A and B are shown apart, each in its own frame.
Chain A
Amino acid sequence: MPTNAPSAAHALTDVTASDRTLRRFLHGLPGVDAVGLEARAASLGTRSIKTTAKAYAIDLAISMVDLTTLEGADTPGKVRALGAKAVRPDPTDRTAPPTAAVCVYPDMVPVAKEAVAGSTVKVASVATAFPAGRAPLSVKLADVREAVAAGADEIDMVIDRGAFLAGDYSKVYDEITAVKEACGTAARLKVIFETGELSTYDNIRRASWLGMLAGADFIKTSTGKVAVNATPANTLLMLEAVRDFRAQTGVQVGVKPAGGIRTSKDAIKFLVLVNETAGEDWLDNHWFRFGASSLLNDLLMQRQKLATGRYSGPDYVTVD
């Protein structure tokens, strides 16, 4: 890493002091060799997770799901059903853990809050003019404040990809810090990069550091609304970033791959990435999440298969 900061606070102020220092820092990060990164992700994807390890991984994955509905057609009924499912994913088996959170649009936060009341399930809300993020900052901040006021425990913001790609890192940084301030101590902040739009791995690494410097509690791959969402390679890269950030500053940041993770097999591959890259400190839903909707049912079917020895089929899990 290019900096050799004596302390976290020092590193932050030095790097973010001006647009120039920020740019110099981000462009001074080691490059990413795409072929090598993807090869490493693929190689970790060949790990064979069986029996007890699989049971552990499936329960862990369930507990890490941010059960998500982000549709124009969302209704209170739909959100209530989702909340009930998050609290008790498998109505036939009480030992199945609850998911980490439900993730909804800001106007659905009160409904979601009520649906998960009394459980450990958090309510996460996308905000900041999700998914495009193309709104004035004042609108974005109002969006965030309303969601927090309605009781959101977590805010999933999108960065201004246009500003990032135009090289205006300070603007992105300032926006994140403003949103972070709007979250206050009430809500943890997940920063979505929309990695599919940032396009290069070098950009994803820079965005990761930018987000962490600006105070992200989580860095998150994508909205689920573009063609390329979470991949093993971009998640591996972000796991390297949080690992290195903690080594340098002592601050631990979570990672949330979102979009496109649909099977237990995929989810377990991501957990292997976590285990062998960031390490076991991240194997907890406080530090790693899956942004997903259909994944949960596959995890439940695999869980039932492990318990009973039989595949139950999609009629034995709830369709919401």
Chain B
Amino acid sequence: MASVFEYAPAPESRSIADIAPSYGLFIDGEFTEAADGKVFKTVSPSTEEVLSEIAQAGEADVDRAVKAARRAFEKWSALPGAERAKYLFRIARIIQERSRELAVLETLDNGKPIRETRDADLPLVAAHFFYYAGWADKLDHAGFGADPRPLGVAGQVIPWNFPLLMLAWKIAPALATGNTVVLKPAETTPLSALFFADICRQAGLPKGVVNILPGYGDAGAALVAHPDVNKVAFTGSTAVGKQIARTVAGTRKKLTLELGGKGANIVFDDAPIDQAVEGIVNGIFFNQGQVCCAGSRLLVQESIEDELLDSLKRRLSTLRLGDPMDKNTDIGAINSAEQLSRITALVERGEAEGAERWSPACELPESGYWFAPTLFTNVTQAHTIARDEIFGPVLSVLTFRTPDEAVAKANNTPYGLSAGIWTEKGSRILAVANKLRAGVIWSNTFNKFDPTSPFGGYKESGFGREGGRHGLEAYLAPSSPEGER
């Protein structure tokens, strides 16, 4: 970073988010303690400071919440779509009004920079609710037959990387289609879901339509296995996704899974280089790389490898790592000690297997969980770091010679969530996109999201789509009045 123009600290005020010392579970419109009285602590990953003590849901609480959701289902699903839409629009507006508070909260609990929560997470959260609010009274015209029916109670388990956004992706379509919800946020990031519970009350949402159960994997497992849940939606690791698929197998539950990825960002020699560099940075360092659709594999045409890497390294050395609450921070903290040790282990493996590791000079804060932006060169398809999802700020650089080779290498993974294509040649974009086995393909951009655009994976990245018209399908039984009940 330039030393003559040193940016003074520009911290967002943390008092904007008023965090209570403790929170309960949100069941049937009330905050309540866990049946067994268990609690856990949530910490701020950038400082390891304890933010709050949270009731920890167990099996009995899951049962209570599912029962509440079941009771609420009859009335909620019977409401005219236009009435459900009013609640969703109201929720969307409250989210916009409280977006600064929610951005601060999310940054404190997750560790990601305020710049991202403010400019990416929160606008997308509100947009998602607005978008699905618009669908609520138009379901007859969504392409699933006349009068498609909701499924019933949706059990939803979400990850810690985009806590409130993943909640929006799950809850907005579920409510728009007339389902009720039991949602379990991740154990490291429960706060924004609990603030959302408060927003539901503020919006006057009927009791039991949304239930929030903070807790660990056991609560998620109990929710997924609960016999009165009609629909399971999960975003998280492929390993857990497989477990869930096994649990749900043989039941009538409808399942969508949004799992891991090892996205390829393919840069051809005729790419707009400066923008490609930005796209690569955005692809792997957005949210510290803790993004399922991250462009964690850079496939660069060999003829421009040196030039591109020079530009990329120069750009990486301008990234500002540090206090996530500072408005000028680009790279925040890793979400948990556990995730940090996973990243560290995989990076050590990459070095041990002979890949060349590079990071810009950057000072890591003393407390909290941090990992410097990292780039690996001399990587081949055989390296672990080119195959396993790292879920951290670590980019593996591989090269290709021809478009066919680029496609073959990009597809050579058990995952299939995202890919990027960088070229100024339009015909090449279309030709390559057609051959890539990935659910989302960006051309000359990366990590761009929009509620109107369906998102989901091929292969072990999961199935089902979230967002767009397609996202409704996961929560509807095509014109079967009998439903799943």
Taking Cβ atoms with an 8 Å cutoff, the residues of A that contact B are 1, 30-33, 35-37, 39-40, 46-54, 56-57, 60, 240, 271, 275-276, 279-280, 283
Query: Which B1-47 residues sit within 8 Å CB-CB of chain A?
Result: 2-10
Q: Give the residue name and chain of the B residue nearest to A241 (CB).
A: B274
Given A31-B424, A36-B444, CB of A283 within 8 Å of CB of B274: no
In the bound assembly, the distance between CA atoms of A36 and B271 in angstroms comes to: 12
19 A-B pairs besides A33-B445, A35-B444 with CB distance below 8 A are A1-B307, A30-B270, A30-B271, A31-B271, A31-B424, A33-B424, A36-B274, A36-B445, A37-B275, A40-B275, A46-B115, A46-B119, A47-B328, A48-B10, A52-B8, A53-B5, A53-B6, A275-B2, A280-B3
Task: Name which residue of chain A comes closest to B281, CB basis.
Answer: A40
- Known interface pairs A35-B444, A36-B445, A53-B5. Does A46 touch B273 (Cβ–Cβ under 8 Å)? no
List B contacts of A49 (CB < 8 A).
7-8, 10
Q: Does B318 contact A (CB under 8 A)?
A: yes
Q: Which residues of A are found within 8 Å of B67, using beta-carbon distances?
A: none
* B302 contacts chain A at the CB level, 8 A cutoff: no
Interfacial residues, chain B to chain A (CB-CB below 8 A): 2-10, 115, 119, 270-275, 278-279, 307, 318, 327-328, 424, 444-445
How far apart are A286's CB and chain B's nearest CB, in angstroms? 14
CA distance A145 to B7 in the complex (A): 43
Q: What CA separation (Å) do A277 and B441 show in the bound complex?
A: 28
A52 to B8, CA, bound (A): 6
Partner of B272, one of A33, A46, A60: A33
Closest to B446 in A: A36
In contact, A47 and B4 (Cβ under 8 angstroms): no
Q: Check B278–A36 contact: CB distance below 8 A.
A: yes
Q: Which of B4, B278, B445 contacts A280 (CB 8 A)?
A: B4
B274 contact set on A, CB distance < 8 A:
30, 32, 36-37, 40, 240
Known interface pairs A36-B444, A46-B115, A49-B10. Does A30 touch B273 (Cβ–Cβ under 8 Å)?
yes
Which A residues touch B327, using CB under 8 A? Answer: 46-48
| Sample (27) of A-B pairs whose CB atoms are under 8 Å apart | A30-B270, A30-B272, A30-B273, A30-B274, A31-B271, A33-B275, A35-B444, A35-B445, A36-B275, A36-B278, A36-B279, A40-B274, A40-B275, A47-B7, A47-B328, A48-B10, A49-B10, A52-B6, A53-B5, A53-B6, A54-B8, A56-B4, A275-B2, A276-B318, A280-B2, A280-B4, A280-B5
The answer to whether residues A32 and B272 also contact, given A46-B115, A49-B10, A53-B6 and a CB cut-off of 8 A, is: yes
CB distance from B174 to the nearest CB of A (A): 32
Residues of A within 8 A of B9 (CB): 50
For B423, give the chain A residue with the smallest CB separation: A31
B272 close to A50 (CB less than 8 A): no
Which A residues lie within 8 Å of B272 (CB)? Answer: 30-33, 36
In the bound complex, CA of A56 to CA of B318 (Å): 20
Contact present for A279 and B275 (CB under 8 Å): no
Quick one: closest B residue to A247, CB to CB? B310
Kindly state the separation between the CA atoms of A33 and B6 in the bound complex, as whole angstroms: 30
Query: Could you say which residues of chain B place their CB within 8 Å of the CB of A35?
Result: 444-445
- Kindly list chain A residues whose C-beta atoms are within 8 Å of the C-beta of B278: 36, 39-40
Cβ–Cβ < 8 Å partners of A32 in chain B:
272, 274-275
Query: Does the CB pair B5–A50 fall under 8 Å?
Result: no
Among candidates A31, A37, A51, residue contacting B8 with C-beta atoms closer than 8 Å: A51
Q: How far is the CB of B300 from chain A (nearest CB, A)?
A: 13
Q: Give, as a whole number of angstroms, the nearest-CB distance from B182 to chain A.
A: 37
- Residues in B with CB closer than 8 Å to A276 are 2, 318
A194 CA to B273 CA, complexed, in Å? 24
Please indicate the chain B residues that have their CB under 8 angstroms from the CB of A46 in the complex.
Answer: 115, 119, 327
Closest to A53 in B: B8
Measured between alpha carbons, how far is A35 from B444 in the docked complex, in Å? 9
Contacts of B328 on A, CB cut-off 8 Å?
Answer: 47-48
Specify which chain B residues have a CB less than 8 angstroms from the CB of A36 in the assembled complex. 272, 274-275, 278-279, 444-445
Q: Is there an interface contact between A283 and B307, defined as CB atoms closer than 8 Å?
A: no
Complex: A50 Cα to B10 Cα, angstroms: 6
Contacts of B273 in A (CB 8 A): 30
CA distance A40 to B307 in the complex (A): 20
How far is A32 from B422 in the complex, measured between Cα atoms in Å?
Answer: 11
- In the complex formed, the residue of B with least CB distance to A47 is B328
Q: Which residues of B contact A51 (CB under 8 A)?
A: 8
Question: In the complex, A238→B195 CA distance in Å?
Answer: 45
Q: How many angstroms from the CA of A37 to the CA of B272 in the assembled complex?
A: 10
Closest Cβ of chain A: how far from B267's Cβ, in Å?
Answer: 11
On chain B, the residues within 8 Å of A30 by CB distance are 270-274, 424
Closest to B10 in A: A48
List residues of chain B with CB within 8 A of the CB of A1: 307
Question: Which of A39, A40, A48 has its CB near the most chain B CB atoms (within 10 A)?
Answer: A48
Q: Is A31 touching B270 in the complex (CB atoms < 8 A)? A: yes
Q: How far does the alpha carbon of A52 sit from the alpha carbon of B318 in the complex, in Å? A: 20
The 9 closest A-B pairs by CB, nearest first: A36-B275, A48-B10, A280-B2, A48-B327, A31-B424, A33-B275, A33-B272, A53-B8, A30-B273
A60 to B6, CA, bound (A): 13
